[in-house]
Structure 1
Amino acid sequence: MEIDFEGINVIGFDADDTLWVNETYFRDTEDKFANLLEKYETKNKIDQELFRTEIKNLDLYGYGIKGFMLSMIECALELSNNQISSKTIGALLELGKEMITQPVELLDGVEDVLKSLKDKYRLIVLTKGDLLDQERKLERSGLSQYFHHVEVLSDKKEKNYSDLLEYLQIKPSEFLMIGNSLKSDVLPLVQIGARAVHVPFHTTWQHEEVTGVVENKGYTTMSSLVDILKHV
């Protein structure tokens, strides 16, 4: 569905898998985790149990790599009936550290888009995850100069967005959000009267998937972030 871009003054960007690659590293680490635990269960079972553990722990740890590391260790203990070796636990910690220190890989066209928009709009980053990790990635990305404000949210639900826009004195009708997740970056914004652009990434965490029929009102889907320059 095409949307009206008139009256937009502020554009918000999701970070992970919108500005730079993120989910690919989680999928790769899940495969390595399954390999380390292969003597205890099948890969399919290991994947299911790790996801179950992550979801159970979201309220405790929130989103991000550190919570994922803790969930891997907990899952490994459960699947092995507490028989997992200290060496394997050390290997799991190293997997997490590798993710944290991974070089930031910008998605195609990101910096060109930000350069084109920065003098016409107020640009902000709205992401969720671990504060230190997200600040580190933004710094390493070289993109900080383009943004007026950066916010790392504990979650991305309607109230999170409403409270932030009110704090930043941004009217929802003047705000456009761009992100890869329908669940987190698009639908909550539409519900509070803002507009959104969905730019899908090639892989999506199961928790971010939307099931059922979604009414395509208040947002549009683009195949690449660069496509936004045709409209704003």
Structure 2
Amino acid sequence: MEWIGFDADDTLWENETFFRSTQAGFARLLEGHAPPERIAAHLFDTECRNLARYGYGIKGFMLSMVQTALELTENRLPGEAVAEILAMGQEMLAHPVHLLEGAAGAVEALSDRRRILITKGDVLDQERKIALSGLAERFDAIEIVQHKTPDAYAAVFARHGITPDRFLMAGNSMNSDVLPVLQAGGNAVLIPHDLTWLHEQGDDPDHPRFHRLERIADLPALVAKLTP
């Protein structure tokens, strides 16, 4: 493999943890209006419907929480509750970056390859996390895209002169880091995270260019195995 692509959120550093804790606080805020499971399901449906409008990231999540709260309260949500939801989102936007175990070592161990970080979501928030991670200088290129689709990966390949079959993408999302890469002609390895968002989950494909690891620390060994 000549190029190694890395996902960021929940592959190199924690992300979903902050969404889950905020969602728990949101459920407590609305506990008098619906049971927790209904709140969670309604919020998930709202987020999925809004992806085309807001994209991925905390700001879209904030707006989806407000919309969910309005719908579950039949538009009787008090201003204080809106302020609390906004405060939750602002706290998320200020959270520190916690690297996952083995992430920095795996990136460093692959310094003999071309390394590219490919992440999606709100540009300002992603840039903040990349800067705070301390990993930015270890990558040959960084791409922040709105959606990880086969066309988006193909555009990244074209911009950097990447030959798809010599590219391996590592990430925790089946629907963002694996399936679209395979469709674009590349190789992909799933490194699951315990708290991967439901929207990003999917079944393992029966595909010769698909691989699975339990730890990112094992990525350099896989790359060596796949390189003739």
TM-score bin (small chain): over 0.9
Whole-angstrom distance in 2 between the partners of 1:205 and 1:91: 23
- Residues 202-211 or 171-180, more deviating: 202-211
Any idea what SS the aligned residue of 1:196 has?
strand
Q: Give structure 2 stretches of 5+ with no counterpart.
A: none
Equivalent in the alignment of 1:33: 26
Are residues 1:225 and 2:197 paired? no
Equivalent in the alignment of 1:19: 12
- Residues 186-195 or 147-156, more deviating: 186-195
2:3 is aligned with what amino acid? Answer: V
2:38 to 39, 45, 59: 45
Deviations along 1:124-180, one digit per CA (max 9) or x if unpaired, are 111111000000000011111101111111111111101110121111011111001
2:9 is aligned with what amino acid? Answer: D
Whole-angstrom distance in 1 between the partners of 2:79 and 2:116: 43
Deviations along 1:187-206, one digit per CA (max 9) or x if unpaired, are 21122221111100011211
1:27: how far off?
A: 1.1
Deviations along 1:61-96, one digit per CA (max 9) or x if unpaired, are 000000000110111111111111111111101110
1:33 is aligned with what amino acid? Answer: F
Whole-angstrom distance in 2 between the partners of 1:83 and 1:92: 15
1:216: how far off?
A: 4.0
1:219: how far off?
A: 1.4
Note the aligned Cα RMSD (angstroms). Answer: 1.1
Are residues 1:157 and 2:127 paired? no
Equivalent in the alignment of 1:82: 75
2:198 to 192, 198, 206: 206
Equivalent in the alignment of 1:138: 130
Moved over 4 A (4+): none
Q: Give structure 1 stretches of 5+ with no counterpart.
A: 1-7
Equivalent in the alignment of 2:159: 167
Whole-angstrom distance in 2 between the partners of 1:161 and 1:216: 18
Any idea what SS the aligned residue of 1:152 has?
strand
1:166 is aligned with what amino acid? Answer: A
TM-score, length of structure 1 as denominator length: 0.93
Deviations along 1:96-146, one digit per CA (max 9) or x if unpaired, are 01111111000001111122212x111111111100000000001111110
1:164 is aligned with what amino acid? Answer: V
Are residues 1:97 and 2:90 paired? yes
1:208: how far off?
A: 1.0
Whole-angstrom distance in 1 between the partners of 2:146 and 2:174: 17
Task: Work out the percentage of aligned pairs sharing the same amino acid.
Answer: 43
Aligned length: 223
Are residues 1:10 and 2:3 paired? yes
2:213 is aligned with what amino acid? Answer: M
